[in-house]
Amino acid sequence: MTGVTDIQPAVERHPLEPFMPEGAKILMLGSFPPKRERWSMEFFYPNFNNDMWRIIGLIFYGDKSFFIRPDGKHFDRMKAENFCREKGIALYDTACEVRRLRDNASDKFLEIVSPTDIIALLPGIPDCRAIVTTGQKAAETAAVIFGCQVPATGTFEETEGRVRRLWRMPSTSRAYPLSIEKKAEAYRKMFTLEGLI
């Protein structure tokens, strides 16, 4: 007998509160933030190697660097928050508690311990008509909650009730094999259909 035991990774609680600006038209949901040492700001999609804010900068301002601070190493939290308030974008994630099965931010090695009660968030954003997931794990988790099929990437499934559409967008992680320009095309289509452009 070797005395070796399987030690489960610790459960991590979500470090951020949901961002729910007044008048939000869409709720964008990722899976879970990366470890804090990878953050470049105290807000959603904080990993400087994640291209969400570059994609949004490209779509709305024609500039991938729009949300990057002058030091070239951090995203600008105030610019990101103000943009989301102005356009009506709420942000959170589909998991409240997770275990990281590997020491990285990959969804593949993320075990969801407690999914977010997305339905409970909706009364706080009464104008919201669409849920936008930013990756496969988030889409799968939300589809279970809304009782619909998991949409194909870049498309949506119709849902019952006040929220009419569940979108599955390409992951903004650089591990997802699609150019930033192609990802931006998919996001532009969604933002246009949801009336944000």
CATH number at residue 64: 3.40.470.10
Flag whether 39 is in a domain: yes
Flag whether 14 is in a domain: no
Flag whether 141 is in a domain: yes
Fill in the DSSP letter of residue 136: H
Report yes or no on whether pTM surpasses 0.85.
yes
pLDDT at 161: 83
Flag whether 10 is in a domain: no
Flag whether 142 is in a domain: yes
Flag whether 7 is in a domain: no
The two tokens of residue 11 are 């459960």
Flag whether 157 is in a domain: yes
Flag whether 11 is in a domain: no
**Number of structural domains the chain divides into:** 1
pLDDT at 10: 86
Range of the domain at 71: 19-193
Mean pLDDT by 10 residues, the chain (197 residues): 62 94 97 91 96 98 98 97 98 92 66 91 96 93 93 95 93 92 97 96
Fill in the DSSP letter of residue 20: -
Rounded to 5°, angle at Cα 20 from 94 and 40: 70
pLDDT at 1: 45
Cα–Cα distance list, 124 to 18, 75, 121, 176 (Å): 10, 27, 6, 32
